């Protein structure tokens, strides 16, 4: 698999787009090189769709990465007679982006309702926002220090709620390897974040 999505303003490469249906069929059979070609062809388009809906670049990168993982996992479900690979990927990207916006809005609504119910004392919102943003940036920086397999495994487990076995199946990697990589990755994250046990 390639590095994380190169979210540039560039267009998908035309040679790979010429036979995306054949590439998708190879991906459905677990061909990692075909997925690499699919990734290169569709990642910029997927990111473009997501960022228009989500608007936050960091969240858009996460959602776009999730969409690309969905394309890998759902490749066998693609049916050429229902539409092009590009249309299928665009539909998945748009749905994921809308889900993220709705989820964020629902979480915000719940938080506001809870605060209104509790009538808590005022706090410095700016300081809290700065602290949250710094923590979020630190998590992203620390995740960037992991190996690709560790990053993927931790992301699937903690951001998508997959079990070790589901992560192993999604990444087509033996379960013991996933457990080891996740343990090592979590230790590295803990050390990077400065968490003491």
What pLDDT is recorded for position 130?
67
Alpha carbon 121 to chain centroid, angstroms? 36
The helix, strand and coil proportions of the chain, stated in percent and rounded to the nearest 5, come to 80, 0, 20
CA-angle at 109, arms to 103 and 114, nearest 5°:
125
Predicted confidence at residue 194, as pLDDT, reads: 77
| Span 89-109, pLDDT tens digits | 999 999 999 999 999 898 888
Per-10-residue mean pLDDT of the chain, 197 residues long, equals: 45 53 94 95 96 93 95 94 93 94 89 74 64 74 81 80 86 88 84 73
| pTM recorded for the entire structure | 0.51
Q: What is the DSSP letter of 197?
A: -
User: Rounded to whole angstroms, how far apart are CA atoms 181 and 197?
Assistant: 20
pLDDT at residue 69, as a whole number: 95
CA distance 60 to 159: 14
pLDDT given for residue 119 in this prediction: 61
pLDDT confidence of residue 197: 58
Q: What is the pLDDT of residue 12?
A: 43
């Amino acid at each position: 698999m390639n590095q994380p999505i190169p979210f540039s303003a560039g267009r998908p490469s035309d040679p790979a787009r010429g036979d995306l249906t054949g590439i998708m069929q190879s991906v459905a059979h677990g061909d990692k090189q075909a997925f690499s070609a699919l990734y290169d062809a569709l990642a910029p388009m997927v990111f473009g769709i997501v960022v228009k809906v989500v608007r936050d670049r960091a969240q858009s990168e996460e959602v776009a990465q999730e969409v690309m993982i969905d394309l890998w996992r759902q490749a066998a479900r693609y049916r050429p007679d229902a539409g092009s690979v590009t249309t299928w990927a665009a539909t998945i990207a748009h749905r994921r982006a809308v889900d993220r916006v709705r989820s964020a809005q629902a979480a915000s609504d719940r938080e506001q309702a809870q605060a209104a119910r509790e009538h808590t004392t005022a706090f410095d919102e700016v300081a809290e926002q700065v602290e949250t943003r710094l923590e979020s940036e630190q998590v992203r920086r620390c995740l960037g220090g992991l190996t690709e397999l560790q990053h993927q495994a931790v992301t699937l487990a903690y951001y998508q709620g997959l079990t070790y076995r589901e992560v192993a199946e999604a990444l087509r990697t033996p379960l013991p390897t996933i457990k080891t990589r996740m343990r090592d990755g979590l230790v590295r994250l803990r050390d990077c974040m400065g968490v003491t046990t």
